[in-house]
Structure 1
């Protein structure tokens, strides 16, 4: 704020900031006065509330156990894909050892932002040339360092303007860099998450063809004001997470040669491991959300589940388990992805030879951000299939 030259803007900011601060302080006081005396450590919703939560937010009316069974089966399949890819890279090491080796392949701190920006252009070009989805604008997202105030909670994120913004219409893809005063070991640990393969998968999720393309399509769509404001958690995050798998399935990171070299095979396997690693985390979230809210799973058991099934260390596993206590909806990354894959299969069967990924994706993104159950009514002619979300 101190660098603002516009005095009127500075005054307006301070006034808005004062009101926001007072409102938050009032809310904190209300929580302490009204809620804290009645609070308990019991965070679980219970099966009935959990099912109602999914039905009323995502129009998914299924027994939690059925969703859990699907999630556990998918978790096993993704673990097998992770291990199979690791064998192609080094059959003499465990999958975790192979992945840790992959994580050492990352840019130097000063090259992080330029490398992400360069690779983002490459990813965008791949989406366009392969005709995976129509990108309705040539305006690019700007890759920038995450603002200081967001760095404690953000690794990478997409910041797009609201659907009705007329002035500040820039979109930023924020990437959190290392801090200059960090020890070298801490910098190295942070940069492992930005290994070249995971970094591309995250860019696919956040920008092309993930959240940024989602935003561009929303703005270009005939959706009404209500449809542009309100969005389904499962649709928004499910689309971005679906894109990670879809892009790797469509050959991103693989060689176009009919007889790929050994290095080509290993490179493709590294991308598959990076994609599977992201999927394993989201699958664990789905399973843990259901288990802690409907099956009395404890926080310690949830932590162990993340450690055993997506191979996290104790601290990040604990943080993921704790998030599930207050964000049961974090199962929606996987739930939405699975719903989109099911809708794609059903739409492909319906369209036959007229099916293409581009047509499917364009239609999917042309109706705002509704629960995917509603998209089934829009895209599928057979009414008997509308409720078959998974």
Structure 2
């Protein structure tokens, strides 16, 4: 039997060496001067490496390992298998232009001060020099692109070019000696990025038709769901439980609405209550300042209620960069678990696009009203993603596996659970409680929408009716979520499944253990798939797949 830890470290090294985007995301800077190589030879090499890794891991007697290493073996095996599946089955690099956008890798070097300016600029010069070849590879590979992906990508590539124009000068002013090296490469890269956006737009107007259907279809979607969730739950079980949860939460939000507006517990009462709360809302100028205030409020509340231990890591709230807009309204961009520098987490919020009409802007901010922003800040920052990921970075195992094995269901599940904990304990009063229940409806509908769109051919009209009617969403929010359901697949299911599994573990808190201590224990193991938490916490009946 091969020793697991040395094998795991070799596989981690191989994964990082062949994937600069993965390396950057976890805070490993050895390939900061490189972009991902999607050429046929490079992809073939990665597939071979992953198959070799899968074979080596299959020879390990995992049941004989200590608990933490047994979990690491499962996490690493799942990571390798998912990589193989994505490269050989989904093959999104051949049809999704968003996958080739280098903007995030450039932005990391420009905005996150993990190293002195001269070091980051030197790495940036390497990445900028690689942009023309990377985009040439993308042009050669991309065929039959879904229209919605090409439209979204065109705007994001324009944002990438703008990033270089807007962010690079300030960094070069700090190291003028590198201007002669970096500036010419940046000018070429910016032209190439803008040209690629134009190429995508031109393709939207040629005679090639609407492109491939963005829906994966049941076979591919169910396989991807299995890899995404890392659970034995079937797609049918997820859907059945989501419909049941939708009924349960509908009853709760009706009852909460009556507390605010009176009358019978009905959908009309919910709409009346939500309309009342939506009247108190920010605008493009005030949404970021509001989020900053709510972060302070949430931090004080977590401390006073002794919900989970705080950290002294910085969290910076800012507008979402243009190159990331078009998919989600907000995100948390945390340092990777292997990052050694003292750098901040970014909590980014997207203001409304400049070309939106007034009525759509009004709809957006009625959805993201003052009380919803409080709940959103709980999810993205405190005690949601920012705090959870800060705890995760403090985990140290016998190998680096857990640093790479980032589970979307755990991360999103904890954040949704955090919303519930805060609201139930009174954060923001009844107004936030109503928004939190509305978000419970939203995350449940996310899972339903995800499956029905990709597997059952759900129409846009039916999707909007579900979100607006059953989810009480503003039309602008529902329209944006419809686009997200087409642009992504299986990620929208992580909220519901992850929340349910995380909440079950939380409910198994042993008698006499304080809540903060239990939450700290739940966050002390990195971000593993939720099904492994019971074993890591020493609970009886460890597997959650029977949930």
The TM-score with structure 1 as length reference comes to 0.81
Q: What CA distance in whole angstroms lies between the structure 1 residues aligned with 2:483 and 2:350?
A: 23
SS state of the match for residue 343, structure 2? coil
- Superposed, 1:55-70 pairs within 5 Å as 55-70=226-241
Does the CA contact (< 8 Å) of 1:60 and 1:389 recur in 2?
Answer: no
Partner of 1:140: 314
Partner of 1:304: 465
1:156 Cα offset (Å) = 2.5
Deviations 1:284-313 (A, max 9, x none): 111122334455544543343223321335
Partner of 2:439: 278
Does the CA contact (< 8 Å) of 2:309 and 2:516 recur in 1?
Answer: yes
1:49 Cα offset (Å) = 5.2
193-202 vs 86-95, which moves further:
86-95
Q: What CA distance in whole angstroms lies between the structure 1 residues aligned with 2:236 and 2:119?
A: 56
1:8 Cα offset (Å) = 8.0
1:98 Cα offset (Å) = 2.4
Does the CA contact (< 8 Å) of 2:231 and 2:545 recur in 1?
Answer: no
Q: Does 1:219 find its partner at 2:219?
A: no
Q: What CA distance in whole angstroms lies between the structure 1 residues aligned with 2:526 and 2:225?
A: 20
1:112 Cα offset (Å) = 3.2
CA 53–209 in structure 1, closer or farther in 2 if over 3 Å, else same: same
CA 70–100 in structure 1, closer or farther in 2 if over 3 Å, else same: same
Does the CA contact (< 8 Å) of 2:383 and 2:418 recur in 1?
Answer: yes
327-336 vs 88-97, which moves further:
88-97
Partner of 1:323: 484
CA 42–247 in structure 1, closer or farther in 2 if over 3 Å, else same: closer
64-73 vs 322-331, which moves further:
322-331
63-72 vs 298-307, which moves further:
298-307
Point out the structure with max Rg over C-alpha.
Answer: 2
Q: 1:252 aligns with which of 427, 444, 448?
A: 427
1:230 Cα offset (Å) = 2.1
Q: Does 1:341 find its partner at 2:512?
A: no
Q: What CA distance in whole angstroms lies between the structure 1 residues aligned with 2:300 and 2:229?
A: 33
Q: Does 1:210 find its partner at 2:384?
A: yes
Q: What CA distance in whole angstroms lies between the structure 1 residues aligned with 2:130 and 2:408?
A: 29
1:71 Cα offset (Å) = 1.0
187-196 vs 332-341, which moves further:
187-196
Deviations 1:61-97 (A, max 9, x none): 1232222221111111222222222222223663223
Name structure 2 gaps, 5 residues minimum: 1-105, 147-207
Does the CA contact (< 8 Å) of 1:248 and 1:271 recur in 2?
Answer: yes
Q: What CA distance in whole angstroms lies between the structure 2 residues aligned with 1:30 and 1:167?
A: 37
Q: 2:213 aligns with which of 15, 19, 41?
A: 41
CA 221–101 in structure 1, closer or farther in 2 if over 3 Å, else same: same
How many residue pairs get matched? 367
Q: What CA distance in whole angstroms lies between the structure 2 residues aligned with 1:59 and 1:11?
A: 39
- Superposed, 1:1-390 pairs within 5 Å as 12-32=123-143, 40-41=212-213, 43-46=215-218, 50-91=221-262, 94-107=269-282, 109-135=284-310, 137-167=311-341, 169-177=343-351, 188-223=362-397, 224-253=399-428, 268-295=429-456, 297-313=458-474, 316-325=477-486, 326-345=488-507, 347-348=508-509, 351=510, 353-383=511-541, 385-390=542-547
179-188 vs 277-286, which moves further:
179-188
Does the CA contact (< 8 Å) of 2:454 and 2:489 recur in 1?
Answer: no
Partner of 2:16: none
CA 296–225 in structure 1, closer or farther in 2 if over 3 Å, else same: same
1:210 Cα offset (Å) = 0.6
Deviations 1:266-285 (A, max 9, x none): xx221111111212111111
CA 123–318 in structure 1, closer or farther in 2 if over 3 Å, else same: closer
Deviations 1:85-144 (A, max 9, x none): 222222366322321221121246544333321221111111112111112x22331222
Does the CA contact (< 8 Å) of 2:367 and 2:477 recur in 1?
Answer: no
- Which ranges of 4 or more aligned residues in structure 1 deviate by more than 6 Å? 3-8, 33-37, 179-184
Q: What CA distance in whole angstroms lies between the structure 2 residues aligned with 1:34 and 1:77?
A: 40
SS state of the match for residue 139, structure 1? coil
1:314 Cα offset (Å) = 5.2
Does the CA contact (< 8 Å) of 2:522 and 2:533 recur in 1?
Answer: yes
CA 133–6 in structure 1, closer or farther in 2 if over 3 Å, else same: closer
Partner of 1:257: none
The TM-score with structure 2 as length reference comes to 0.60
1:163 Cα offset (Å) = 2.0
